[in-house]
Structure 1
Amino acid sequence: MSCRTAFARAFVAWLWRGPLLWLAGTVMLGALATPALAAGKDYATCFSDGKVSADQQIVACTPIAEDSAEIPDLRVNAYFWRGLASAQKNDIDHAVTDMTEVLALDPTYVPAFTNRAIAWESKGDFERAVADYTRAIALTPDDANLYADRARALNKKGEHDRAIVDCDKAIDIDPANEMAYGVRGVVWDDKGDAVRAQADYDKAESVRADPVTPYNDRIRSWIAKRDRKRAKADCRHIAGVDADKGRDCARLIAEAFGEPRDGETGPNPASAQNAIGVEWQEKGDHTRAIAAFDEAIRLNPASSAFYFNRAKSWGLKKNYARAIADLDEAVRRDPANAQAYRVRGMTMAQVGNSREALADLDKAISISPDDPKSYFERALVWEASDPDKAIADLDKAIALDPANADYRKERLSVQIGKRGTKLRQAPSAATGQAPVPVPR
């Protein structure tokens, strides 16, 4: 084996053997309003992320986890954090036990499946590890990392061909997934194919250095197949990594397919102005964005999308009256625009009109009942007047998107709020709400 191959394989092996805490992720915790939320229970220490020793965390979490009268979500998280603390001490048996308790209370808690799977791997029980990764994949089938994780366990189990299939699936979901290439390289090595192994090790190194190029390559493939929807999805991913490159790929798609037609044929000046407005919007210059959307609407006043985009800029400028007026036009011109109803509902809530907010969110849900965001936002409106309805909506959002940490955080916050106890933290960038210390 060459030195280069040995180095690449060592790097992949390091990825494979990271501690349980590595996969679980970390959470930045704020200070609690009081040292403990209830007599004899130190929530601050239990939900601390690396601020205390593993032994201290285990002692703090035990009375919370093992109290059957405690709020279920608090018990779930207490078992979870206690399990991570046990893993930190290399006490794998107790880590497995606590993750099992988490899943008994909440069978949709994906991080508990993944951490228990890693624990099984460390014990050499690859059959159970594969089973837990499979359950996690069933809950979040679009998570490329889970397929790469399961491939790793399958390879250790000796099922090399199944491992390659899982790596291929991970790469299909995320063509820049470094771990999937690295794991597949190890599988090829174990199958005795050094050439393919080295190619995958090289690819793992290249995507780590440049995660955008694989998506650009795939966008060109989608364009060749005339699949605009998938090309745009990959372009959105690029924009999340690099805004400038995201705009470049958007132009590439527009050149290949033409601008969205809004009832017209071929590229048109209105769509071009809308694209300019979106570009200014992404840069945070909402004055120029609004000017571009004004021109798009002048050229094509029938487009619901142009009013919706202008409403977003008005909302970000905190001119809620104009945002609502544009959203009124958006839904008038496209009564099936669930997103416009949802955003108008959020805006109504922002100005204190909870009755209209609920009506709009109800409408958004009736049009698009599988969108978890509408349930989540309706829950935020219900929180002040009916926490039970808020929890019911959060349950629905979690069922539709079980991997979303914000939904679980908010549910726990509502439950604690029903007790009259508050957790003090900085507002979440995603929700604007005060988050609570819940693992990812």
Structure 2
Amino acid sequence: MTLEFYARGLEKAKQKDYIAAIEEFNQAIQENPDFTDAYIERGLAYYYSGATLQGVFDYNEAIKLDGENAKAYYFRALAKLDLKNLSGCLEDVEKAIQFKLHHGAVYDLLGTVKRKQGNLPEAIANFKKATELYLAAKDKDNAQQCLEKIKQLQPKSPPQANPEIQKPVKVISTQDYFRQLLDKAENGDTIEALADLNWILTADSQDVYAYCCRGVVYCKVGNYRDAISDFNQAIKLNFQDAIVYRNRGKARSHLGDHQGALADINKALEMQPEDVLVYISRGNIYQSMGNYLAAIQDYSQAININPEHPLAYYNRGISHTCLEEMSNAVADYQKAASIYCEQEDWKNYQQVLNSLQKIQSSLPETTKATYNLLRQRLLRMVGGHWEIAERLIQQKKDFFPGMTEQWYLQKVIDDLERDRR
């Protein structure tokens, strides 16, 4: 009966009825607790049904029964990759090779692990070995996929004439590898960065770091819908990091979903309450909503955490400008310019100087003080929401065309005070 249960389990698994397959393998193991292959196949059924950790327990049992079972090591390596345990995956796949499991899929998996660790030369070598074995087995589809992986990993520049004098390639960590891709995008090479990330996700559709990284690059190029899709996928794969929520909030804000954006930023703040960039991001959302007082509060909090962060000063200066608080805006712009100058960030330094020049010439000196006072007074009367004030001003312009901006401000204030009385 043991073999009958086992055979029925294989048939159910072939039909992708994994729950029924697990039940059949349970019966086989109950009759024969030393049935190694039943543990392996039940582990596979667990793996394909999404219960990866339960699958690892079965592979462990199979290895206890047969310490040189190459298949058990290989399948456990697949499960560990799914659980983001790269070191454990590498150890198991090397064991599978040690115990003579010479199949294209084994070297394909080894190449994927080496690529994730940033060891690109070894990744290429293993993908080449996998290609050879796939071709020997007449598996042209998988062989072609490995060739595509090799093509993506190979350096773009031609090799040196004498390979013997080439410098050894430095092995980098997975995080450093993705950091390099983000730096590439930041320096303007977004097309190549996206191509690399697309390949990574073709090779491993469960790579949460790649989804997060590609989402950031999509934000960089203004493709906010695709960015949100990638951040959603990273979250579905249980990648819990503030960077995902912060950048998804940024993308949602650009698409006009300000409340959703604030929900994401607040989630990021729960995870990293001392992150300057999260406060700046929330300030940017408030600023885009016209809630300049709330924006200033967040930028100020970012400055409390890091008094030398130029972007916090610059963005706070923009909010002060929107409130016509010119002296505060000038002070923030000057501080931001000073920091950018010390950092020798000349592009942003010039941008701040341009902003300074604009506000200094925006209003005549004779009317600036009165205009500022009226604007601030109205802003406080509407609870800091300038979009409300703008609608009220536009209503007065519709009824009384041709008047000065100062007249409209005073008219709205007078009407509000009358209504409140």
TM-score (norm 1): 0.36
TM-score (norm 2): 0.37
Return the structure number with greater relative CO, CA threshold 8 A, min gap 6. Answer: 1
In terms of Rg, which structure is larger? 2
Q: Which has more helix, going by share of residues?
A: 2
